[in-house]
Amino acid sequence: MALRAKKVLAVEIDEKLRDLHKETLDIDNVKVIYGDFLDLDLKKLTDDEFGGESFKVVANLPYYVTTPIIEKLILAKVNLISITVMVQKEVAKRLAAEPGNKDYGSLSVFINYYTDCLYKFQVPSSVFMPKPNVDSAVVNLVMKKREDLDTDFLFKVVRAAFTTRRKTILNSLSNSKLNYTKEEIKRALELSGIDERRRAETLKLEEFIVLSVNFKSVG
């Protein structure tokens, strides 16, 4: 990676590797930051290290913090071009899932709103030592430019819709913590051109966006 990039900035949580890195990472354009990635101020760090230039993220993510790390990167408001990561295969499927797929959920909608996500390839557990109990996969997420929108409310609606996946969109939203009556929800769905008998897993991102906007006009 150091041969291809102008500068490589790595984050390592294990302080025990510091001495090893001193012996093996004698490369001018590589710098290692030691600490918990989730505690870092990404805006300050990337401004200091990259001087405001755009950058890409490439990583093998710890499975237990995959989603928090990806969400932090996406929401950090930094000059990020893309994220290429190896994650647990099941998570990769959720990240890249399309409407109508059993893996499609609120995380899929979130990822689709902010990025173009491509499931690249599977990495079998047999290539690791020691061998883990799960397979992995590599995904590539290219950042999108998005219009100004109340994303907090949008994803509140999305999460509410997926609370009970097997119910209709009307019943899911009616039984959620959204502060709308059933009649107001019906009206918002009608204004959005969404059949109240559909399930959340069939709705495209654009339909969720329209629905969130129309909720503002009925409440």
For residue 115, the domain's CATH number is 3.40.50.150
Looking at 143, 159, 189, the residue that finishes a domain is 143
68 shares its domain with 118: yes
Query: 101 labelled as ligand-binding?
Result: no
Q: What is the mean pLDDT of residues 75-95?
A: 97
First and final C-alpha spacing in the chain: 52
180 shares its domain with 85: no
Task: Give the confidence band of 198 by pLDDT, cuts at 50, 70, 90.
Answer: very high
44 shares its domain with 139: yes
4-39: b (≥16 Cβ within 10 Å) or e: eeeebbebeeeeeeeeeeeeeeeeeeeeeeeeebee
What pLDDT was estimated at residue 21? Answer: 84
Would you tell me how many other CB atoms lie within 10 Å of the CB of residue 119? 15
83 shares its domain with 107: yes
Query: 12 labelled as ligand-binding?
Result: yes
69 shares its domain with 127: yes
Task: Give the confidence band of 13 by pLDDT, cuts at 50, 70, 90.
Answer: very high
CA-based torsion, 199, 201, 207, 212: positive or negative: positive
User: pLDDT, tens digit, for every residue of 16-59?
Assistant: 888 888 777 788 889 999 999 999 999 999 999 999 899 999 99
What pLDDT was estimated at residue 19? Answer: 82
104 shares its domain with 20: no
For residue 184, the domain's CATH number is 1.10.8.100
64 shares its domain with 130: yes
Q: What is the mean pLDDT of residues 190-201?
A: 98
55 shares its domain with 133: yes
62 shares its domain with 138: yes
C-beta separation of 71 from 168 below 8 A: no
Query: 116 labelled as ligand-binding?
Result: no
State the residue range of the domain holding 45.
38-143
88 shares its domain with 174: no
Would you tell me how many other CB atoms lie within 10 Å of the CB of residue 60? 11
β strands within the chain, DSSP E: 8-12, 30-34, 55-60, 80-88, 115-123, 136-143
User: pLDDT, tens digit, for every residue of 97-148?
Assistant: 999 999 999 999 999 999 999 999 999 999 998 998 999 999 999 999 887 7
Could you tell me what percent of the chain has a pLDDT over 70?
A: 100
Could you tell me the pTM of the whole model? 0.93
Number of DSSP helices (H) and strands (E) in the chain, helices first: 9, 6
What pLDDT was estimated at residue 50? Answer: 94
Query: 86 labelled as ligand-binding?
Result: no
What pLDDT was estimated at residue 120? Answer: 98
The DSSP line for 90-138 is: HHHHHHH--TTSTT-SHHHHHHHHHEEEEEEEEE-GGGSSSPPSS-EEE
69 shares its domain with 94: yes
51 shares its domain with 130: yes
Report how many domains make up the chain. 3
Average pLDDT, the chain: 94
